[in-house]
Structure 1
Amino acid sequence: MAAAAPPRALSVELRRDLLAGVLAPRRPGDRVRASHPRQPQENIRCGQLMSINFNSRSLPCPPCHCAQMALPNTRIAYPPDVGKHTGVLAYELVQGSLVQWNSFMDKSIPDPPTAVLLHGILGSRKNWGSFAKRLAQEFPMWQFLLVDLRCHGDSASIKKREPHTVASTALDVLKLIVQLRLTPRVLVGHSFGGKVALSMVEQAAKPLARPVRVWVLDATPGKVRAGGDGEDHPAELIESLKRMPMQVSSKQEVVDALIKEQFSVDVAQWVATNLRRSSPLHSLPSSSFSWIFDLDGISEMYRSYEETNLWGIVENVPRGVHINFLKAERSLHRWALEDLQRIHAAEELAADEGGGVEMHVLEDAGHWVHADNPDGLFRILSSTFRIETTIRGMQN
């Protein structure tokens, strides 16, 4: 198969759409899409969009599998078959109780403030589910777009053109945002997703017409360093998974095999959440499970993650963009002294140029920041949503 044109080479039409549909402020009279006011405790179908009000119930939180409570007065909005209807990526919208909007109905009101949450390699949008509900509870005017990146989760069945890179993954998300007619104020990416968020800023036209705050969680803009003994090794994990059969009899079979290969119990159990039952529960002779990701594509994505260098966008931040790096206190191998020094130098330079770069440290956390210390991460990220909510109130 012939390789696609590099993602940076956007068509004139797409560049115009990105400017008009994503980054430019709404003009009076512009038509956007919104939902009818919803009734409490009911499922409401609005065209192709279903909105659900959640009662409190226990949900798993990968990779640690702790039980967290889904908070009341939040909702998840998604098409019944997200892959078919978007043709781009599978997604969910977690909306605060004050959000009265969806992308499938036209109303002459602006879209609510939106944050995009991006997972890492071998993850899925479910990694952010409990955390997004908590944010929506605290900030009820906001909505949170959770995306399954290409080759992952429900997006794995949506055929995407090669190459499978950080840049092409970022372009997928930009296309989805255009299709949903959203104007994101905040981009949050964990690990691989952090580089995707930076690439989204790099590919969009500069300067940005509206402020955008980017959070890169436990990832640097450049070199990816392998872990030491007892730490995670994603490339080796991907290769181990590729050697396994496409179907297995149980999730425990995978967990046991990975532990035998010296991967931690937490990582093994988290990876097993990517297995989906492929035969009926009571079928004979036994049930089976299959993977919900494209491992060949993911392997290519991880190589791109290792090779992609986005220091340029950090050291030349567009006006109106604020980039926040969050270092997990126990995630030592990812952060060299030269990375930290370079980020601090970019902080000073950005302040002089009308942009922003900032470094944060999350205490008592390893790489899985939203599982290791969700309370600490929530406190740090909350400052962004308070600032943006205040700015929006002043503009109105």
Structure 2
Amino acid sequence: MAAISNLAGCSHGGSSVNFGERRLTFRPTPALKTRISWPSKNPLAVGHLGKGHKNSGVRMALVDEKLARSGDLPKPSDILAFDLVQGALVKWSSVTDRSLPEPPTAVFLHGILGCRKNWGTFTRRLAQEFPTWQFLLVDLRCHGDSASIKKRGPHTVSSTALDVLKLVQQLRLTPRVLVGHSFGGKVALSMAEQAAKPLARPVRVWVLDATPGKVRPGGDGEDHPEELISVLSTLPQEISSKRDVVDVLVRKGFSKDVAQWVVTNLRPTGPLGSSQSTFSWVFDLKGISEMYRSYEETNLWKIVEDVPRGVHVNFLKAERSLHRWALEDLQRIHAAEELAAEEAAGVEMHVLEDAGHWVHADNPDGLFKILSSSFQ
């Protein structure tokens, strides 16, 4: 398995930009990366500037005062944290000009213990290749910047999907593509199951290395998410050293790659530059534990075997992720392929070569080639 530390981390940095009374559309220069980040202490101070990237064609419009005056601005305590990555040819903004036609939008969802940054590099590449598209990256409940939002339980696949449906509705978006990795894949399926709107028709759903039903976590030599959550729950809320956490996880039998990825969820708590700074977790581990149990238990075979007209479900199996895929699952998906074709819908199975479960880190080029068919 390629180093999971290659995934974009979940730590957060940058400075806040307060737009005050002005109405602005921010188009970053090639040296800037922009994020729309919710929640914020000031609902108008939603921009953060980070380190530069080579993707000069990518830009982003920021939420601002006009939306607040319209009365349609959701409370920062209610809306999920997100990034909206736009291709260079996207002119649309739900804030500045609603007369322009909405550009095609894709939603990207992370897995358990991940965050929206996991998809940052990949979606910036998509925005370069497909400049008329925009890509919504979401921190799911209990994860990343959305962890501070006090979402009501139960914390399930279904409630997580409803969160994202509410978000796209609040942003006045009608996504044409949903992409979810692992837990996020089941969330994408649940979104398609729960709502005709605000989803487009046709809509393509990509479920990356997850099956619709029983979860088979871990095999010999594999990292077990449930065990990882259990070990993390024994650690203190404040951590003095990331290296100490990595060492503890490795001693408990987890791979160094996974251990290094997990500590990207640690955020400094002390003053910047302080040698005595400690770290705290940016996720709600109790809520995540409940979400993972729901992931194991949730059965979404019904929508796969009775796909609504206009919905196309794509499963992607990582070649080296053998334990997650039982022969019966593969046979059932192939049977659904034939049935869906007769009903003017679609189910497809894809295999990503040279990749383990962390598909966007192990083989990003192969994943890019497979997903690109949805954005032509």
Which of residues 321, 339, 342 is equivalent to 2:329?
339
The answer for the alignment partner of 1:247 in structure 2 is 238
Contact 1:208–1:321 under 8 Å retained in 2: no
Which of residues 253, 260, 265 is equivalent to 1:262?
253
**Structure 1 regions of 5+ residues with no counterpart?**
1-42, 59-66, 387-396
Percentage identity across aligned positions?
A: 73
- Where in structure 2 are the equivalents of 1:164-179 lying within 5 Å? 164-179=155-170
**Structure 2 regions of 5+ residues with no counterpart?**
1-16, 34-50, 65-72
Q: TM-score, normalised by structure 1?
A: 0.80
Q: Which moved more, 1:246-255 or 1:67-76?
A: 67-76
1:293 corresponds to which letter in structure 2?
F
SS in 2 for 1:123: coil
* 2: CA distance, partners of 1:98 / 1:208: 23
Residue 214 (str. 1) matches residue 189 (str. 2): no
Residue 301 (str. 1) matches residue 276 (str. 2): no
The answer for the alignment partner of 1:96 in structure 2 is 87
1:240 corresponds to which letter in structure 2?
V
Contact 2:82–2:137 under 8 Å retained in 1: yes
1:350-373 per-position Cα deviation (integer Å, ceiling 9, x unaligned): 000010000000000000000000
Contact 2:63–2:95 under 8 Å retained in 1: no
The answer for the alignment partner of 1:367 in structure 2 is 357
The answer for the alignment partner of 1:53 in structure 2 is 28
* 2: CA distance, partners of 1:266 / 1:106: 45
- Where in structure 2 are the equivalents of 1:45-194 lying within 5 Å? 51-55=26-30, 70-79=54-63, 85=76, 87-194=78-185
1:121 corresponds to which letter in structure 2?
I
Q: Which moved more, 1:290-299 or 1:69-78?
A: 69-78
- Where in structure 2 are the equivalents of 1:350-361 lying within 5 Å? 350-361=340-351
SS in 2 for 1:74: coil
Residue 327 (str. 1) matches residue 317 (str. 2): yes
Change (3 A) 1:209 1:91: closer
1:37-94 per-position Cα deviation (integer Å, ceiling 9, x unaligned): xxxxxx9969687634252689xxxxxxxx99542210244558x9954722000100
Which of residues 224, 227, 231 is equivalent to 2:215?
224
2:331 corresponds to which letter in structure 1?
Q
* 2: CA distance, partners of 1:293 / 1:207: 28
Contact 2:105–2:133 under 8 Å retained in 1: yes
Contact 1:208–1:318 under 8 Å retained in 2: no
Q: TM-score, normalised by structure 2?
A: 0.84
Contact 1:54–1:71 under 8 Å retained in 2: no
1:374 CA displacement: 0.2
Contact 2:109–2:138 under 8 Å retained in 1: yes
Q: Which has the higher strand share?
A: 1
2:206 corresponds to which letter in structure 1?
W
* 2: CA distance, partners of 1:197 / 1:379: 20
What is the RMSD computed on CA atoms of the aligned residues?
Answer: 2.7
Contact 1:208–1:320 under 8 Å retained in 2: no
* 1: CA distance, partners of 2:54 / 2:94: 24
Contact 1:207–1:319 under 8 Å retained in 2: no
* 1: CA distance, partners of 2:371 / 2:137: 16
Name the count of aligned residue pairs. 336
Contact 2:311–2:345 under 8 Å retained in 1: yes
The answer for the alignment partner of 1:376 in structure 2 is 366
